[in-house]
Amino acid sequence: MPATRKYLWVLALLLAARAGAAAPDAPPALDPVHPIVGTWKFTLADGICAETYHFRKDGTTVVTSGAEVTESAYEISAAPSARGYYKLVDRITRDNGKKDCTGELTKVGREATTYIRFHPSGDMIIFCESESLDNCIGPLNRIPDEEM
């Protein structure tokens, strides 16, 4: 094979491999039956404002909180820790610039790590600051797909 032709063949293979690779900011593949996948709703104590979290199986989330709508990329552990918590790392990728239920604005690029604990039924979760029940919010209730 002539050198130029061999070079073009190698270049074509490299380009094809690169095109098939995930984008650098793409979240890692998630098990489509991971218990987090689905829609979860949390109503604040005032009963007026609610937050809805839609965890997609592609590792992205859409959250509505008051007038705010955010999108994010997330990673979650495949299994719970010995203490029963899933580690969730979430990075905001898009925000509509409106205020959430607490009157705050969320900055694009903000990254947060929380620990999620599932109720044995699988239909409720809580978000905790650490692998402890000392500082948590919730419960968030699963919204069945037919109610969406």
CA angle, 83 then 50 then 74, to 5°: 45
- CA-closest candidate to residue 116, choices 76, 69, 60, 56: 76
For 16-31, write each residue's pLDDT tens digit: 333 333 444 544 556 6
Q: How confident is the model at residue 135 (pLDDT cuts 50, 70, 90)?
A: very high
Residue located via tokens 């689905």: 38
Answer yes or no: CATH 2.20.28 is held by domain 26-147.
no
Within a 13 Å sphere around the CA of 93, how many CA atoms are in the beta-carbon half?
13
For 40-71, write each residue's pLDDT tens digit: 999 988 788 999 999 999 999 999 999 999 99
Domain ranges of the chain: 26-147
Specify the pairing of strand 60-65 against strand 68-76. antiparallel
